[in-house]
Structure 1
């Protein structure tokens, strides 16, 4: 039992400090040790920490397994543990583009600080900057000033304040984040601070400084091994560069962001990258010539062979929900209402 708790404390510390590199290394070592001894070391609230590390690492299928298991097993345990699991599952769902499920998980987690920051992000994405700013402040009031746990609320708070045309308050939050990152020194925290500096520079119309901060943030996220965060930073960089003489570089960054987001099955953000690429090249020529993504073509080929959604999910190592969502998007993009019609149209377009 002491060994189990020691492992859990290690994962918890790595998650809190945003030490994604060491978090991933310890996760691999703990899993190997657990398998060798035949003893489960990731139990209880430890699953939530493990699931969060997997989420940030881009191992979303593994993260889903751990977090769903935690939510299923913790309702009758300590309420704080259950809220932790719900908040981290909500974060995964938000990244996956499953906003309704994310909101439900965050709201069920109650006043848990991570859930409040996650709800703030959802409100901001829905255009409610005032609500996002209020929720970010609500999360910050729960946490000590020197706590690295403040990073999520600070980051979304900066975005919300900029959306509200309050650059002074945004800069104040960014300064706190910068100080926190300098104190802790992990790559992910430094990257988040650099990202917020880039946003402040963008708001001040200093494109050159913004591009420099974005490049630094991307490099730090890459060192940390957090592909989703790096891709979103690339997408923001592409948007900034699109209005300059560096439009070709903007296209490159947008394509790299799209490739990562598509591989992660981050559908909402991948669609945003697709829309930006369409603007950058002047028309949606890519979509017209090939209306489906590589993953969608892959799924439709298996559907054409008669595989069920469950069988496709097992074959591609995806969740059944993800396959179902991809098929629904395929029908929309091909303007079809059934699997047979989609297969027939894709065949006529030479996609299968």
Structure 2
């Protein structure tokens, strides 16, 4: 059926206008040609479709000129303009007709644009309601679709029309820009859209899903036809300009255009592009470059190394860098020195690589970093932010917490100056969380972790590894508030994925401390075989946390009352100082500065505090550590508890009360209640002394801390002991729940397998079971294991 296409409203508008010049300007499909024919017929003339109208085309005093669609810039001659009383021109927005300026100025012009040419209800009132609603509600009132939707066919012919009429003059780059908008139509439309699409569609794209889908299909089919290098580069340039550098590179790499793809990577700041992209997408694209390109292009090499670092493949990174940049690149002092042969980007990457290495810079290294910073270009705020992020990490390792806070503040200032970078800001705030929790200030850490979540939720792409880091930080804050379950859940479900990804050392140190302590609190004999042993595969790859893992094992032994095994474990650790040095040291303890050395010394002193007859100068040793500026507030709380316990053993009640009150008030002020749970071995006996407890409970803040401490004591291990199991039977239950056989349990506890069977038998009897599966099921129901 041939649908009537009369435009009485527009014909009336033109006929009643005093303007000498009438211009119908809209994209293909707006009905310009039909309206022009109707106007010419009404005036008794004919439509001219020539590239250059002649005076003979002026009929009855009027020129009706339908500009050919392939023309771009045309000029109307003066004789034609002077001979016509009215000039009506139909053209597209991208077409330009010159020569009319004087006539438009003196005689006026009527411009009928796409908004006027779109159908409204009044224009289609004479048509069946279903036809009218289809054109207006589904196709944005664009006149061309009036007939296209009436022939009873599917949308295929509408797709073809879009390709042949709407898109005919578009370049490959224009097509790419249109495609990007159609995929994200809630974003501002590029200029090309205004030239070819109905205005109602541009103003309310969500209202026309069917038309959007048709246009997407048409654009997709057109894009598939571009295969020439020139066309592909044009499309890639549009993608790059829109912020989709990875998509641009992937397109070029699909067609073997590695050189242009590498140029895009360089313009996008290469390795830093990973912070603005999905890690998976970055990896999939970067790893497609050939070995020849990696060898020839430093930016590609550094980007690939960045991917491998994200995967925790530090050995492979070092191998690639030494292979292509030389073995001296592995020595940061040679790379960062002024006048180094390495490029600025390579030197910057070496600084970032130091973040993944378990390297604590000495003062000479920090001075070298300051020299390197002097070469940073002014205005490069992103580079300055990255530099201070590195300094932040190094100062945390050096336990210079004030300097670390200053570095974090400076990094955030530079990120703000560059307009914000949510992912990098997240890392700064996460660093602050680690810094504050490590130093013992949980209340300040709470603000930092909230800021970290706020920034991470602003990241436009998926960031599963970063959200896993955030969940760990939040679980550690829960632990400090006496809620242990989130951290235990993280250890059981997320820790393997966390440890296998790129983790900078201070975060790994932080995670190891908290995760192992939560397990020690609840499953003291399961921490070694079930957790720490599982970390060796991750931590052996260039991260030197082995000493700290052994220290955590020793503390687990101590908390389980196995002091002999704890001492044997500590003795086997290779440290500059040994037990004999620690036994006699006093003033030297105030000068220790390495985190592992301090942890090692405190583990030995913990044993000394436990002895019923501690050495006379033990209090001086503990006070020397408290005076050490590298000791954290959290460690000072533990040391105060030990001082109270030692004084209580010596029956020095006044000192015991003073130190205990100081420890509990500090824990309450800082919000670090986790350390109270960690030191329950010493704190519980102190609180069982009624005079001591009644003294410290006079403080409201202390009462709040003690309430949190009391709730944390309700662990599966504690419940098992309260339920009638002996310490050894509770240990057997934990190890059996961890999946260890009787033989493995015997080896773990350094006892005979016969002894294991004896205790397991007692365990079965108390649980009323005859098999291991039944015993584990019953223990789970009782809350003795989880």
- TM-score of Structure 1 vs Structure 2, range by shorter chain: 0.5 to 0.7
1:175-214 map, 5 Å = 175-183=409-417, 184-202=419-437, 205-214=440-449
Q: Tell me the TM-score normalized by structure 1.
A: 0.58
5 Å-filtered alignment, 1:107-186, equals 108=325, 110-111=342-343, 112=345, 113-123=347-357, 125-128=358-361, 133=366, 137=370, 140-147=373-380, 148-183=382-417, 184-186=419-421
In structure 2, the residue matched to 1:249 is 486
Tell me: CA distance 1:220–1:71, structure 2 relative to 1, closer, same or farther (3 Å).
Answer: farther
Q: Give the counterpart of 1:84 among 299, 304, 324.
A: 299
CA-to-partner distance for each residue in 1:106-149, whole Å, 9 max, x for gaps? 562744343122232134x2445668746754653332354212
Q: Measure, in 2, the Cα distance between the counterparts of 1:256 and 1:133.
A: 38
Shift of 1:160: 0.7
Higher helix share: 1
- What SS does the aligned partner of 1:75 have? helix
In the aligned structure 1, how far is the partner of 2:386 from the partner of 2:457? 19
Q: How does 1:1-352 map to 2 (within 5 A)?
A: 4=233, 7=236, 27-28=246-247, 30=248, 40=257, 43-47=261-265, 49=268, 53=273, 57-59=278-280, 63=283, 66-67=286-287, 69=289, 72-76=292-296, 82-106=297-321, 108=325, 110-111=342-343, 112=345, 113-123=347-357, 125-128=358-361, 133=366, 137=370, 140-147=373-380, 148-183=382-417, 184-202=419-437, 205-224=440-459, 225-239=462-476, 241-254=478-491, 257-258=494-495, 261=498, 266=501, 277-282=515-520, 283=523
Q: 1:191 to 1:243 in 2, by over 3 A?
A: same
Q: Deviations over 1:30-65 (max 9, x none)?
A: 368659x968486224346577545852317x6166
> Deviations for 1:2-44, whole angstroms, at most 9, x for unmatched residues?
9849957976x9xxxxxxxx85x5534x368659x96848622
How far does the alpha carbon of each residue in 1:58-107 deviate from its partner, in whole angstroms, 9 at most, with x for none?
317x616624626631534xxxxx33223222222222222222234456
Unaligned runs of at least 5 residues, structure 2: 1-229, 330-341, 536-739, 741-786
Work out the CA distance in 2 between the residues paired with 1:115 and 1:70.
21
Q: Deviations over 1:185-223 (max 9, x none)?
A: 231233233224334433553202213312331342243
Higher RCO, 1 vs 2 (CA within 8 Å, ≥6 residues apart): 1
Q: 2-side partners of 1:27 and 1:159: how far apart?
A: 29
Supply the RMSD in Å over aligned alpha carbons. 4.5
Flag the 1:142–1:149 CA change in 2: closer, same or farther, 3 A.
Answer: same
Q: CA deviation at 1:158?
A: 0.4
Call closer, same or farther: CA 1:168–1:126 in 2, change over 3 Å: closer
Count of aligned positions = 273
TM-score between the two structures when normalised by the length of structure 2:
0.29
Secondary structure in 2 matching 1:69:
coil
* CA distance in structure 1 between the partners assigned to 2:401 and 2:367 by the alignment: 16
Aligned CA distance change for structure 1 residues 9 and 155 (closer, same or farther; 3 Å): farther
Q: Give the superposition deviation at 1:234.
A: 3.5
